Amino acid sequence: MSGLLIERRGGRVKVAGELTIYNAAEFKKELRQLIELGDALVLELSEASEFDSAGFQVVAWARREAERRGLLLRIENPSSPVQQLFAAYRIDWLDRAVSEAI
């Protein structure tokens, strides 16, 4: 397990490494803190080397929580593992802003 690197810059979160069941709690904790600040959030996932259903669940939770609070959440530059899992789940909101109408 190579782990997870989370780099925060304002409302931008760059994730590198394994976004899997082994790191999902850490990732959710970081996102929760940012969402509680009440600003728009951008997830940069280009360097996510692994992405499993636990990683997806955290991203889906963040999306719902941001939407509930009227915040914008966007996923940028998804890596191949992220794209593959979203495609397998037939999720179509990967490259769009979550709260476009808010």
20-45: pLDDT as tens digits:
999 999 999 999 998 999 888 999 99
Would residue 48 count as lying in a domain? yes
Would residue 16 count as lying in a domain? yes
Residues 85, 5: Cα–Cα separation, whole Å: 20
Residues 37, 33: Cα–Cα separation, whole Å: 7
Residues 24, 102: Cα–Cα separation, whole Å: 28
Would residue 100 count as lying in a domain? no
Q: pTM score, two decimals?
A: 0.86
Would residue 97 count as lying in a domain? no
Would residue 20 count as lying in a domain? yes
For residue 44, what are the domain limits?
A: 4-77
Q: What's the structural domain count of the chain?
A: 1
Q: Which pLDDT band, with edges at 50, 70 and 90, does 93 fall under?
A: confident
pLDDT per position as a tens digit, 46-56: 999 999 999 99
Alpha-helical segments (H) within the chain:
24-37, 53-68, 80-88
Would residue 53 count as lying in a domain? yes
Report the CATH number that the domain containing residue 49 is assigned in CATH: 3.30.750.24
Would residue 91 count as lying in a domain? no
Would residue 55 count as lying in a domain? yes
